Amino acid sequence: MTLHPIGTVDAVRGAVVDVVFAQADLPAINTALVVEWDRSTPLILEVHSHLDLTTLRAVAFQSTAGLARGVTVRATGGPVTVPVGDAVLGRLLDVVGDPQDNGEPLPNDTPRRSIHAQPPALNAQTRTTEVFETGIKVIDLLTPMAQGGKAAMFGGAGVGKTVLVMELIRTMVEKYDGISVFAGVGERSREGHELLTEMQSSGVLERTVLVYGQMNEPPGARWRAPLTALTISEYFRDQKHQNVLLLMDNVFRFVQAGAEVSSLLGRLPSRVGYQPTLATEVAGLQERIASVAGSAVTAIQAVYVPADDFTDPAVTTISGHMDCVIVLSRAQAAEGFYPAIDPLASSSMLLDPLVVGEDHYRTAEAVRQALARFRELTDIISLLGVEELGAADRLIVKRARRLQRFLTQPFMVTEAFTGTPGATVPLADTLAGCRAILAGEADDWAESSLYMVGTIADARAKEANAADKTPDKTPEEAAA
């Protein structure tokens, strides 16, 4: 039996603990340590750096409130491991893999894996150009996602990132033949409870694993929660050869937790106060999200943009790893266009005629051109009015306004708040609707007929219903 070294607590600085191993060699970096204190909740530390020959500095995964100097700390001899496999399906776990859903304990024979792993070798990774259809019109049309790719939704506070992620979970997990892993990083407890309840009611929880490092937890837990979710995803990818849908909300909180840990460790800050290891930490997370032959990991990530500043170092670092960048705009949200996706700022590497086909590409480009021209004319319209535009520009403005409204969509997860039934729209119907608007079919329709509908057929029925309810005009009204 291997005897693991025993040390004692020397100093506590919030979530960072210094431990002295006077009689033994220091445990290696990333080794897990267990604090043997008198509390009912375990306290697990992870070795981060060696300060001298006998002292190391570690990061705590649970609250250190009440921890005193001199308390015994035992090294485990290996890194933090978390349970993986079929036993964790349908469960809500914390950063070290303990169930937090008031359910039964996990079986003793549940396999465990280290949260630290290398990404697959470059020659073992596969790339796919298969489009991952979401049923959300503006995404499928302008920013198609890749099966086995990485997509990120960037937006400031209150523009709808979490709602969009929850809608993607709802629409995709039901038709998606694979495993879903959700990582809630630094988000509110309320949102986690809502997501758990939503999944239980929709019957998709048995194929989903929820991993949470919540806002009220120490930065160490928020910092490592994405690695726990990744470890579970990698097991299903490599051992079970199953496709995995990995959802993260919110990756910025992972960076923020790293910055908190960095300052507690005594490092000098880098640009805008972020940790000097920002690029390395983000790359270490994102490069592990990879697909191998026979099984793909498709990642959809929400990214908070502080103060709506898209030049923020964290935002630019994360966006560099993405295949698909979806930008949520506060201006779109202010006008009531939900999902509040900016069609001109968002982009996807898959929007290519060789991938999506010539028809889809031409339709998407025509929609973008119309919306871009409308945006160019916005200042002129606000100053002089649309009547001062030429006939061609007036026609573009009319169709662009209708396209804006057609690309809105009612969500299933918001039915309880809006009273409008949610809609999932196949890509073929999205393309058909956009082509009809660009061809002028909806020129005489009320703009409201295209707002918050699913397909163009729904809009046509809404327009016909509105026309039936409109009273016939008198000759004098018609002449006016």
Active site residue 188: yes
Q: Which of 419, 249, 410, 402 is nearest to 338 (CA)?
A: 410
Distance from C-alpha of 414 to C-alpha of 136, rounded to nearest angstrom: 14
Q: Which of 352, 318, 264 is nearest to 153 (CA)?
A: 318
Active site residue 113: no
Q: Which of 57, 113, 150, 161 is catalytic?
A: 161
Distance from C-alpha of 400 to C-alpha of 383, rounded to nearest angstrom: 19
**What was the pLDDT predicted at 158?**
87
Q: Which of 188, 271, 362, 375 is catalytic?
A: 188
Tokens linked to 339: 């999902």
**What was the pLDDT predicted at 1?**
43
Distance from C-alpha of 148 to C-alpha of 295, rounded to nearest angstrom: 8
**What was the pLDDT predicted at 2?**
58
Adjacent-strand bridge partners of 235: none
At 407, the amino acid letter reads L
Judge whether 244 and 299 are in contact, CB under 8 Å. Answer: no
Distance from C-alpha of 258 to C-alpha of 274, rounded to nearest angstrom: 8
Question: Whole-model pTM?
Answer: 0.90
**What was the pLDDT predicted at 470?**
64
Residue 186, sorted as left (phi over 0), alpha (psi -120 to 50) or beta, turns out to be: left
**What was the pLDDT predicted at 468?**
79
Instruction: Kindly report whether the peptide bond that precedes residue 27 is cis, defined as omega within 30 degrees of 0.
Output: no
Distance from C-alpha of 398 to C-alpha of 131, rounded to nearest angstrom: 31
Active site residue 187: yes
Judge whether 398 and 450 are in contact, CB under 8 Å. Answer: no
Q: Which of 54, 62, 53 is nearest to 12 (CA)?
A: 62
Q: Where are the beta strands (DSSP E) in 305-370?
A: 324-327, 347-348
- Crossing angle of helices 427-438/391-406, nearest 10°? 160
Other C-beta atoms closer than 10 Å to the C-beta of 56 total 26
Distance from C-alpha of 108 to C-alpha of 83, rounded to nearest angstrom: 10
Q: Which of 46, 187, 191, 281 is catalytic?
A: 187
Query: Dihedrals φ, ψ of 211, to 5°?
Result: -120, 125
Distance from C-alpha of 251 to C-alpha of 321, rounded to nearest angstrom: 12
Q: Flag residues of the chain having pLDDT under 50.
A: 1, 474-475, 477-480
Angle at 388 between CA 369 and CA 374, to 5 degrees: 15
